[in-house]
Amino acid sequence: MNSHRITRTIISPALVLASLALALPLASQAANTRQTTPGPPLVTTGAVGRVTGTTAVLEGSVDPRTYTTTYYFQYGPTSAYGQQTATGTLPGGSTATATVKVSETASGFLSGYHYRLVASNEQSTAGPTFGHDHTYTLKTTKKKSEFVLPKTFVPTPLGGTFVLTGSLTGTGNADRAIVLQQSPYPYTAPYTDVGGPILTGPTGAFTFHIANLTTSTKFRVATVAAPSVVSLVVPEQVTLRVVLKARTAGKKGLVRLYGTVTPAEVGAHVFIQLEKPPKTKSEKPGKIEKPEREGKRERSEKEPVPTFATKFDTVVKRATKSISRFSVVVSIADAGHYRVFVQVKPGAVVSGHSGSVLLDAPAKKTKHKKKS
């Protein structure tokens, strides 16, 4: 019968510590082998730094491995490069064992260009060391395209021309095909194109002319091709066409005011109004005006808007299929510019007014005192 003897080996703690002390310098030495071992430089292509126009700073890192090392960047529209920066130099010596960040300026550098870092030292017997090829792409923020239109619109007289100007903003807004669309009163029909497409200008600006507008209409602008962009709705109102004429009546001091309203609006209320001079803002005595801040745009003064006071009124009484007429004889007590305002319920057309006519008041008689 065979017997097996189990032997336990006891290792002294002092022996373990001594082995570790011997192993640590060897590990540290192995870690530094990459830098201290003679050989060509270690090269890493970095990022593109500051870019100004077509000038860029190319970045990277070089480990010269204790030898005097030269480096430069190659760059160009393809991986064949074709251009390079000025050559830089890193000193050698026992202290030059750490990786060094390097950078050089590249002129004529554009988005989409390839670039890489190249370095060599006396150990580069097989040729220079090349960093990895990188491609630079300019990061651009695409602006959302949208239509910018005026906030307010002046109503168009019946049969007049409506002009819509605006601009398309955002990326790719130049030479973009756009079309004007409309939905006439009562605005229940779907939008349809008005004429053919036009192209925006170099800055995205555009202008549409809609001639002979006879019905209040909602308009909008849309791009023809994707991505689709549609403007806000522009409600353009069409006003009555009102013509006012004046002539003296039979009796001195009386004036006949008459005219036409298109389209025919029998029963419409006619207001004969006198233009009142606009109010001007009077300066308070002793008030010191505050100076404008430097660089602040001066606020443009709004032109005063004239107001009108109703002096007489009548109604439209006679009409044909296309026009209606009004006529009234009045006594002018106040000289000035008079106009006619015809009021109707909003619909295909809205209320409108005529141009102004200048009317003189009769001269007042002066009383002469009797001589005593």
**CA–CA separation, 344 vs 270, rounded Å?**
9
**CA–CA separation, 357 vs 68, rounded Å?**
96
pLDDT at residue 338, rounded to an integer: 95
Q: pLDDT tens, 2-26?
A: 443 333 344 444 433 344 333 333 3
Q: pLDDT tens, 288-315?
A: 444 444 444 444 455 667 789 999 999 9
pLDDT at residue 299, rounded to an integer: 42
Own/partner pairs, 344-348, CB within 8 angstroms, 24+ separation: 344/240, 344/265, 344/268, 346/216, 346/237, 347/185, 347/216, 348/184, 348/185, 348/214, 348/215, 348/216, 348/238
Q: What is the mean pLDDT of residues 246-275?
A: 90
**CA–CA separation, 298 vs 262, rounded Å?**
44
63 pLDDT higher than 50: yes
First to last CA, the chain: 180
pLDDT at residue 368, rounded to an integer: 58
Contact 133, 114 (CB under 8 A): yes
319 pLDDT higher than 80: yes
For the chain, what is the mean pLDDT? 83
Q: What is the mean pLDDT of residues 358-369?
A: 74
In a 13 Å sphere around the CA of 337, the CA atoms on its Cβ side amount to 9
Rounded CA Rg of the chain: 44
Is 241-277+305-359 the same fold as 146-238?
yes
Q: pLDDT tens, 170-208?
A: 988 999 999 999 999 999 999 999 999 999 999 999 999
Domain boundaries, the chain: 35-135, 146-238, 241-277+305-359
**pLDDT above 90 as % of the chain:** 64
Q: pLDDT tens, 94-135?
A: 666 688 999 999 999 999 999 999 999 999 999 999 999 999
- The structure tokens listed for 179 are 């079309």
CA distances from 134 to 40, 60, 63 (A): 22, 11, 19
- Position 144 confidence tier, pLDDT thresholds 50, 70, 90: confident
pLDDT at residue 120, rounded to an integer: 96
More reliable by pLDDT, 141 or 327: 327
More reliable by pLDDT, 82 or 366: 82
pLDDT at residue 164, rounded to an integer: 96
Give the list of residues 6+ apart from residue 357 with CB closer than 8 angstroms, or none: 244, 245, 246, 337, 338, 339
Q: What is the mean pLDDT of residues 222-236?
A: 94
More reliable by pLDDT, 41 or 249: 41
Give, in words, the CATH class of 241-277+305-359: mainly beta
Q: pLDDT tens, 34-45?
A: 455 778 999 999
CATH code of domain 35-135: 2.60.40.150
* Superfamily of chain region 146-238: Immunoglobulins (2.60.40.10)
